[in-house]
């Protein structure tokens, strides 16, 4: 719902939404309020558009590469190897190997595979690794942080639940994450799912800390006491009343964590521990291109630029969300 507002003395009010809703008599949900502020941040909006584009490309690309044989990222065309972007395909190719419009938009690699098709496939891998890994890390982080924050003062033998969980979190933080992932991935059978899971279970610690901090503050809030006084069961208080109120910083860090996960996956694939070839990911396209860095620079420039753009876009959106959710920063910006 778009609400017509002027360039607004309303914004300088310490309670913008309240004054606004009151004045116009229109109900504005917290989400609408957030969106209204977020929309004003041009960089964040740019990031959001890039991400939306990426989602469309990844989904479409996945369909194309799976079901349309001319987009097959595995198709080897030895006569056409190492062609620069936009060059025409040779006429000698069998008909079903011809790329669309007889052109390679991003060129070909050392086996004559269509880099455009490979990038499409890679975008889906990157995005799904990012989203699934962060979902896993959110699930673990919110649970651990929530338990530590809510039940922290309970004792389990000589130590409290809080110390137990948070010291475990500290231990996890002490591991050099990337090498831990490398080791685990080297031991496990190579599969994209293993990578998602491993990244997920090595990146939940910051979420857990955020959620715990929020819960410690929320637990003392009157509405939590009120919810208890109304006889709501603890799980309901935690999931319906506390977690939604604790999500703001978590959402911000999750967005930025997606960027981290994508980078980690790329790095793993680059080192050859990621998704097995011939399945394409941005990381292994980059790795393959490494040997032809002077002869075929597009082989590393294109995936490199893609990784850079996506990571940047996630970070911009994350920072935009953070600014929109933090009223103090909001005022400074305005």
Partner 1 sequence: MASESQKLLSIRNLHVDFATDGRPVPAVRGIDLEIAAGETVALVGESGCGKSVTAMSVMRLTEGRIAAGSIHFQGRDLASFADAEMRTIRGGQIGMIFQEPMTSLNPVLTIGRQIEEVLVLHQRLSARAARAQALGLLQRVGIPAPERRILQYPHEFSGGMKQRVMLAMAIACRPRLLIADEPTTALDVTIQAQIMELLRSLKEEFGMAVLLITHDLGVVAHFAERVLVMYAGKIVEQGSVRDVFKRASHPYTQALLAALPDPLKPARRLEAIPGRVPSPSMLPPGCAFCARCAHAFEPCIGRQPPLFEVAEGHRAACFLRDGEGRGVEG
Measure the CA–CA gap between 93 and 76, rounded to whole angstroms. 10
Of the pair 38, 178, the CB lying nearest partner 1 is at 38
Residue 223: CB minimum distance to partner 1, A: 5
Residue 113: CB minimum distance to partner 1, A: 49
Which residues, including other chains, have CB under 8 Å from residue 83's CB and lie 6 or more apart? 89, 104, 107, 108, 112
Of the pair 304, 327, the CB lying nearest partner 1 is at 327
Measure the CA–CA gap between 332 and 334, rounded to whole angstroms. 5
Of the pair 151, 168, the CB lying nearest partner 1 is at 151
Residue 228: CB minimum distance to partner 1, A: 5
Of the pair 244, 334, the CB lying nearest partner 1 is at 244
Residue 325: CB minimum distance to partner 1, A: 12
Residue 144: CB minimum distance to partner 1, A: 22
Measure the CA–CA gap between 114 and 71, rounded to whole angstroms. 8
Report the interface residues with partner 1, using CB under 8 A.
15, 17-18, 21-22, 27-30, 221-223, 225-233, 236, 240-241, 244-245
Of the pair 98, 245, the CB lying nearest partner 1 is at 245
Q: 305 phi and psi, to 5 degrees? A: -65, -35
Measure the CA–CA gap between 82 and 322, rounded to whole angstroms. 44
Work out the number of other CB atoms within 10 angstroms of the CB of residue 84.
14
Measure the CA–CA gap between 137 and 109, rounded to whole angstroms. 35
Token pair in block for residue 106 = 């991003």
In this structure, what DSSP letter does residue 241 have? I
200: burial class by Cβ within 10 Å (0-12, 13-18, 19+)?
buried
Residue 231: CB minimum distance to partner 1, A: 3
Of the pair 96, 220, the CB lying nearest partner 1 is at 220
State CA 61 to chain mean position distance: 18
Of the pair 29, 191, the CB lying nearest partner 1 is at 29
Measure the CA–CA gap between 45 and 37, rounded to whole angstroms. 11
Of the pair 187, 230, the CB lying nearest partner 1 is at 230
Q: 307 phi and psi, to 5 degrees? A: -60, -45
Residue 178: CB minimum distance to partner 1, A: 36
Residue 4: CB minimum distance to partner 1, A: 19
Paired residues of 156 in beta bridges: 159
Work out the number of other CB atoms within 10 angstroms of the CB of residue 31.
8
């Amino acid at each position: 719902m778009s609400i017509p507002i002027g360039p607004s003395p309303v914004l300088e009010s310490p309670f913008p939404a309240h004054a606004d809703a009151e004045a116009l008599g229109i109900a504005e949900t917290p989400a609408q309020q957030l969106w209204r502020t977020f929309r004003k941040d041009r960089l964040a909006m740019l990031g959001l558009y890039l991400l939306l584009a990426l989602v469309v490309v990844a989904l479409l690309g996945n369909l194309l590469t799976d079901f349309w044989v001319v987009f097959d990222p595995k198709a080897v065309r030895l006569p056409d190897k190492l062609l620069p972007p936009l060059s025409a395909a040779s006429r000698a190719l069998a008909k079903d190997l011809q790329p669309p419009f007889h052109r390679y938009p991003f060129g070909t690699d050392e086996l004559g595979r269509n880099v455009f098709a490979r990038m499409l496939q890679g975008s889906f891998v990157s995005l799904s690794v990012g989203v699934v890994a962060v979902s896993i890390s959110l699930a673990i982080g919110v649970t651990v942080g929530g338990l530590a924050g809510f039940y922290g003062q309970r004792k389990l033998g000589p130590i409290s639940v809080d110390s137990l969980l948070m010291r475990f979190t500290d231990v996890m933080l002490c591991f050099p994450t990337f090498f831990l992932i490398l080791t685990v991935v080297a031991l496990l059978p190579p599969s994209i799912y293993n990578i998602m899971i491993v990244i997920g279970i090595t990146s939940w610690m910051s979420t857990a800390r955020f959620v715990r901090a929020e819960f410690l503050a929320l637990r003392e809030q009157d509405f939590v006491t009120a919810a208890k006084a109304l006889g709501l069961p603890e799980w309901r208080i935690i999931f319906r009343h506390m977690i939604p109120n604790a999500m703001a910083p978590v959402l911000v860090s999750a967005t930025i964590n997606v960027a981290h996960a994508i980078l980690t996956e790329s790095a793993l694939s680059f080192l050859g521990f990621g998704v097995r070839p011939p399945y394409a990911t941005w990381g292994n396209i980059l790795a393959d291109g490494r040997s032809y860095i002077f002869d075929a620079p597009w082989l590393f420039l294109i995936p490199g630029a893609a990784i850079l753009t996506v990571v940047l876009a996630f970070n911009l959106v994350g920072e935009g969300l953070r600014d929109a959710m933090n009223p103090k920063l909001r005022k400074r910006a305005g």
